[in-house]
């Protein structure tokens, strides 16, 4: 008689917390990231920076570092705990989901690093760093649309797995 481990159908609480925490910080970065641009331009031009932009630019810096640290934790957790199998269905959708998730991981590592390189080493990298904003917006939109598609069209419980811990 062979015993097998039941398939994992949901995420662990730590995975859910990390997902939503990183998502909230990325949203903050998208909405308030322009303050870092204002800070960079003020420094280049030798002009004064508003107090609001100064606080938000500092928050952008620290939020980027937080994302980098949290993504490192998330990747370690994912490697140790795994992830649920995609819902039964179309292999093309499963491939797109996997590709989108790894694109998120790549951006979540590359963008904070490019920001740090911009600040400490090479200001020209800032132009590349800024290209991440529209890419993130597109990925977040696709990710959100896909989760709603799974929830309301396919009704396969995919969205629920990132909202509630299941075994």
In whole angstroms, what is the distance from residue 123 CA to residue 94 CA?
39
Name, in order, each residue with C-beta under 8 angstroms of 150's C-beta and a sequence gap of 6 or more.
87, 156, 157, 158, 159
Mean pLDDT (10-residue bins), the chain, 167 residues: 54 95 98 94 94 97 98 96 83 90 96 97 94 96 94 90 77
Q: Helical H runs in the chain?
A: 13-32, 34-45, 51-81, 91-120, 125-148, 158-161
**pLDDT score recorded for residue 167:** 55
In whole angstroms, what is the distance from residue 35 CA to residue 24 CA?
18
Give helix 13-32 / helix 51-81 axis angle, nearest 10°: 150
For residue 17, how far is the Cα from the chain centroid? 13
- pTM of the shown model: 0.90
């Amino acid at each position: 008689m062979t015993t097998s481990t039941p398939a994992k159908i949901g995420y662990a609480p730590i995975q859910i917390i990390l997902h939503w925490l990183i998502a909230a910080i990325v949203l903050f970065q998208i909405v308030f990231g322009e303050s870092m641009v204002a800070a960079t331009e003020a420094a280049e031009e030798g002009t004064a920076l508003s107090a609001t932009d100064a606080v938000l630019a500092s928050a952008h810096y620290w939020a980027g570092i937080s994302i980098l640290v949290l993504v490192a934790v998330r990747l370690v957790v994912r490697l140790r705990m795994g992830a649920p199998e995609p819902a039964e269905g179309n292999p093309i959708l499963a491939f797109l989901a996997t590709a989108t998730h790894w694109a998120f991981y790549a951006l979540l590592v590359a963008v904070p690093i490019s920001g740090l390189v911009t600040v400490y080493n090479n200001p020209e990298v800032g132009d590349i760093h800024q290209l991440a904003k529209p890419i993130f917006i597109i990925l977040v939109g696709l990710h959100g649309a896909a989760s709603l598609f799974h929830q309301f069209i396919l009704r396969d419980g995919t969205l629920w797995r990132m909202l509630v811990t299941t075994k």
